[in-house]
Amino acid sequence: MSTTTEPSAQGVAEQARPKMTRDVKRLVGGIVPANAATFAIIGAVTGILLPLQVQGIDPANKVANLAVVTSIGALVAMIAQPVAGTLSDRTRSRYGRRAPYIVGGALVGGLALVGMGSASSLVQITIAWVAVQVAYNFVLGPLSAILPDRIPRAVRGTFSAMAGLGVMLGAFAGQVLGASLAGSIGTGYVILAGVAFVTLTLFVVLNPDTPSTDLERPRFSVADFLRMFWVDPKAHPDFAWAFASRLLLYTGYFVATGYQLYILQDYIGLGDGAAAMIPVFGGISIVGLLISTVVSGPLSDRVGRRKVFVFASSALVGVAMLVPLVMPTVTGWVIFSILSALGFGMFQAVDTALISEVLPSGATYAKDLGVVNIAATLPQTLAPGVAGLIIVVFGGYAALFPVALTLSVLGAVAVWPIKAVR
């Protein structure tokens, strides 16, 4: 298969240019609102609006029904992001390889969100949510490729920290919006769709990419396309261990937090007041997120180390899982929110930079990032079903936390064998 000449040329240019050019600074600043607008949808929809919509159709079976909807959506998302990455790697346009998918995905996803607001059955909700997941993963795959495409290695920790900050701020803003519009779900979907489309379009306009029309297009092969989900762990062991670490920690995190609304309703005992309290807990979390994200990314650049931060983040998330197990109260959930925010914020800030340094091929950045991002989306597929099964079998939410603790610790252990990154 022929390859583009871009990666080697880009590698030379990366070594020659200053660490922080004006364009790089604009990208570092712009990734915050771009990620925030996208992940506000995740925070609002998966955290509040979708669970309320599902609960409104069949309150008695809300846990099982939410597991079905979110599992199907996340399974499709897992497939969509590597596909989007592969297509964007091969795209040749005057706007570059990534921009058409970022803007187009935001438009299609926004229309799907608007349609989701009018859904009145579980089947309709599932179809609309699948469309939303596909569209916004066509945004996220190419958007994540900006890091290895255009950010010098020496400042990737800083960029990764700002990207993670955008994710967390977006999730929190989504929770606030979702709680405030809990009585008007359709309006919430329209607002989220509009904000995401405008923000992502501005990001592309203000950060134009180099045209890709002169790049050689790799030869297309059906066999290569079908193999795009596979990266040989023997040939690329560091990539495989980084994938495993992300998969384990994300699974542990989502096993515990994927049912946050229902946990607050039934386990913590807030009942009908749970939806209104989610932004309160989110506001508490944002303090920990800001501290860990802003400090960890640049600090990892300064000391030239990534793995120690992943160890610390996984340990913090693991400790956080103990708190609601022994203290199933509002106070316990406050402590849980702070500790998990410190740990997950640190992980978000550093893990993306670590992964960008173990990618197998410079010619397929977006595809490879799409593959490794399966480690973030697959837990969303597995966690609701696994968590629902745990709740049903053990008759309560308490059993979720030991499982989450174990997975978080294993996530820390998995980065130890990585050799290319300190």
Element (H, E) at 340: helix 330-356
Instruction: Take residue 388 and report the two structure tokens written for it.
Output: 């629902």
Helices (H), 181-236: 185-206, 222-226
Q: Please state the rounded mean pLDDT for residues 76-81.
A: 79
Q: Please state the rounded mean pLDDT for residues 138-159.
A: 81
Instruction: Take residue 338 and report the two structure tokens written for it.
Output: 């702070």
Among 12-16, 108-112, 131-135, 176-180, where is mean pLDDT lowest?
12-16
What is the C-alpha separation between 98 and 84, in angstroms, rounded? 9
- Whether 13 shows a pLDDT value over 60: the answer reads no
- Whether 260 shows a pLDDT value over 70: the answer reads yes
**Of 369, 401, 296, nearest to 149 (Cα)?**
369
pLDDT of the residue at 203: 93
Helices (H), 118-155: 122-144, 146-150
Q: Please state the rounded mean pLDDT for residues 228-238.
A: 68
- Whether 269 shows a pLDDT value over 70: the answer reads yes
Helices 365-372 and 122-144 sit at what angle, rounded to 10 degrees?
A: 130
Could you read off the pLDDT of 308-361 as tens digits, one per residue? 888 888 888 889 999 998 999 999 999 998 998 888 888 877 777 777 777 666
Query: pTM here?
Result: 0.68
Q: Give the 3-state secondary structure of residue 320.
A: helix
Instruction: Take residue 275 and report the two structure tokens written for it.
Output: 């939806």
Could you read off the pLDDT of 295-311 as tens digits, one per residue? 877 787 777 777 788 88
Contact 260, 408 (CB under 8 A): no
- Whether 14 shows a pLDDT value over 50: the answer reads no
Contact 284, 337 (CB under 8 A): yes
Q: Please state the rounded mean pLDDT for residues 26-31.
A: 88
- Whether 265 shows a pLDDT value over 80: the answer reads yes
What is the C-alpha separation between 185 and 192, in angstroms, rounded? 11
Beta strands in 284-396 (DSSP E): none
- Whether 293 shows a pLDDT value over 90: the answer reads no
What is the C-alpha separation between 39 and 170, in angstroms, rounded? 5
In whole numbers, what is the pLDDT of the chain averaged over residues?
Answer: 80
Instruction: Take residue 30 and report the two structure tokens written for it.
Output: 């712009």
Q: Is the dihedral of CA 210, 90, 228, 219 positive or negative?
A: negative
The torsion angle over the Cα atoms of residues 279, 43, 192 and 58, rounded to 10 degrees, is: -90
pLDDT of the residue at 346: 85
- Whether 17 shows a pLDDT value over 50: the answer reads no
pLDDT category, 422, cuts 50, 70, 90?
Answer: low
Phi first, then psi, for residue 127 (nearest 5°) are -60, -45
Contact 336, 320 (CB under 8 A): yes
Contact 146, 98 (CB under 8 A): yes
What is the C-alpha separation between 186 and 204, in angstroms, rounded? 28
What is the C-alpha separation between 371 and 240, in angstroms, rounded? 11
Question: Which of 127 and 166 is assigned the larger pLDDT?
Answer: 127
What is the C-alpha separation between 360 and 237, in angstroms, rounded? 10
Domains in the chain, CATH or no CATH each: 16-210+233-414 (1.20.1250.20)
Could you read off the pLDDT of 186-223 as tens digits, one per residue? 999 999 999 999 999 999 999 888 787 777 666 666 56
